[in-house]
Each structure stands twice: as structure tokens, then as C-alpha cells.
Structure 1
Amino acid sequence: MPDSTDPAGRPRRSRAAERILREAMRLFAERGYERTSIADIQAAAGLAPGSGALYKHFRSKEAVLAAGMEDFVAGAERARELIRTVPGPAEDALGVLARAAMQMLQDDQDVMRIVWRELEQFPELLARVRERRMQTTYAALADWLRDRADRGELRVEDPEATAAVLLGGLTSFKVFHTLLGEPPARLDDDRFVQAWLRVMLRGLLPDTRPGS
């Protein structure tokens, strides 16, 4: 269980608890939730396999999984803050957001494997991740697109659908790589982002309209 919370209400854990959580999420991603035992987690975290030391920090194996998902969800607030505050003209800001999204997805590879492969058996956790991580991030991007369109920087007819296209493309690229072991067309991230930006900006910048 978390040792305390910080002023924002996020878990503040001991180093041992963080180590347990990190190793558990790695094992869940590699082996699957059901095939990972408490003893496996304790051994990976440097604890005696039969000691029950994990229970000093977490109530159960499912509580460890839930803690990992809560950390994943907390990352959405960092993403939303970047979307709200990214500086510069829209075409530059879009590049910053794309690269930040790719880095977050890279950092969260283990969690993505767990979400896609394991959370169906935990519908409440899946709903929490879907609503508080994914849907809120899409909504924040839609608001950003709407604001930039209101300023005349972008041409956006449907902010929600456009956000789904923009973020969905980045997410799909990284999920493909994470789940199948190599990226689509064997592209590196930078080459993909450059192509993504060229395509998206042609459709979004006002001076790309036919006859302009």
C-alpha cells in the first residue's frame, strides 16, 4: 500500500514499494498477469521469495497491478498540461506534441502490453484507464485544436475527430511496435514523425486550402 500521498494526492511510495511495482509491471508485461506469482515478483525485486514481504506494501497482486495502472493514468495529467501550455506557432507546437507523445508511449511500453493483453479480465481497471488516460487526452487535444482554429492558425472542422486522427496515428504506430516487436515498415520514430507532420500540416494549415 502507498506509504503516503503527495500534496496532489498521488501515491508516495518507499523505494522498496517502487522496486516491487517496477518489477511486477515488467513481469506482467513479459509473462502475463496470471503466469506471474507473488514469489516471482518478490524474487525480481530482491526480496526473499517466500517471505511475504510484498504484502507490507501492497494488499495483493491485483493491488500491485492497480497501482501500476494508477501511475499510467497519472501520466495523462502531464500530457494534458503539455497540451495546454505548449508554446509557439501551431505547426511547431504540433511537432513538439508529436515527439512528446512518442516518448511517452515508448516509456510506457510495458504498461501498454498489459493494457492490451491483460486488462479485459479487470473491467473496472480497463474503464479507468480508458476514461482517465485515453479519453481525457483526446479531449485535451481536441480543445487545443479548437483553440488554435479560433486563433486562425489551423483549419479544423471537427476537433474531436481530428484529435482522434492525429493521436490515433501516433498511438497505432507505437502499439504495433510494442505488440509485434518491430515498427510498421521498419521505420524509426523520427522518420515516422516527420512523415506524420508533413501529412497532418498539409490538411490543417489554412494556406493549404485548394485555390489559396
Structure 2
Amino acid sequence: MLKAGIERHIGRIAALRDIRHVFAGVGDPRTELTLTARYALTELDNEAELLRIVASEARARPELVEDAVQQIISTTYGGFAGWLRDRAGVPPEQADAIAAVGLGALLSSRLLRALLGTDPIGVDDDALVTTWVAMILSRIPS
């Protein structure tokens, strides 16, 4: 069951990469980033139960989740860093760091909720997305 859930999540990550290509046609980085952030948060919400299971099983069955988690993280961060380089003109040495900070913020907002069962930060999604987009845009060359 856990393996099937992880495989389903990897499939959703592949869909996120495809969605990113669809968003790229929008032509406005602010809109593309907003859509990307909202989509990522929605997917994380949809996978909250899987996140809880993976977190609880990671120590007991590391062989089952280690490769999948690495694949999910590498794919997601690599895809976003690629968007930053290719679409937004961010130098490669900065794109990886911006992707790590940016996606880490979205992921941590949902992990805290999924793992703790509460939202200790208390920032609503509109404020989170608006601030996230502004922060990412501030790191993109004009």
C-alpha cells in the first residue's frame, strides 16, 4: 500500500512537470509563479495522508521510501530550478538555491500541518502565495 501511494505521488509530480510546461505559455512570470505555487499547495494537500505515512514509515522501512523521496525531491526542485534558468534567466548557480528556498517554504508549510495536525504558522494561502511569488520575483533578473 505504501509503495503504491509513493508511486501515485511520483505520478503526480510528473503531472506537475507537465503543468509547468502549460503555465510557461502564459507569458507573465508572476502569473506562472502564482499558478505553480497554488498547484503545488493543492497537490501537497491532496497528499497529506501520504506525507504522514511516509514520515512515520521512513525510519522503519527506509529502503521503501528513500529512493522515492529522493526522486520526488530531485525532480521537483530540478524542474523548478530549470524553469528559473530557462524561463526567468536566473544564473544556474543561483537557480538551485532559489528553488531550494522557494519550494522548501511551500513544502514546510504543508508538512507542519500534515505532521502536527495543526497550522502553527497560521498564514493563509493567499498571503503565503502572494509573498512567495514576490520573493521569487525579487530574485529574478529584470
Report which stretch shifted further, 155-164 or 168-177.
Answer: 155-164
| Greater helix share, structure number | 2
TM-score, normalised to structure 2's length?
A: 0.87
| Partner of residue 32 from structure 2, selected from 75, 82, 93 | 93
Compare relative contact order (CA 8 Å, sep 6+) and give the higher one, 1 or 2: 2
Deviation at residue 186 of structure 1 after TM alignment: 1.4
**Equivalent position to 1:82, from 10, 19, 31:** 19
Answer yes or no: is 1:158 the counterpart of 2:97: no
What is the Cα-based RMSD across aligned positions, in Å? 1.9
Aligned residues: 140
- Measured after TM superposition, the shift of residue 155 of structure 1 is 7.0
The yes-or-no answer on 1:113 pairing with 2:49 is: no
Deviation at 1:196, TM superposition (A): 1.6
Q: How far apart in 1 are the matches of 2:81 and 2:131?
A: 21
Match of 1:158, SS state, is helix
> Does structure 1 residue 200 correspond to structure 2 residue 130?
no
Deviation at residue 99 of structure 1 after TM alignment: 0.4
The alignment-based identity, stated in percent, is 33
Distance 1:157 1:91 in 2: 22
Structure 1's unaligned 5+ residue stretches are 1-63, 207-212
Verify the 8 A CA contact 1:109 1:178 in the aligned structure 2: yes
Which string of whole-angstrom CA distances, capped at 9 and with x for unpartnered residues, describes residues 5-53 of structure 1? xxxxxxxxxxxxxxxxxxxxxxxxxxxxxxxxxxxxxxxxxxxxxxxxx
Residue number in structure 2 paired with 1:170? 106
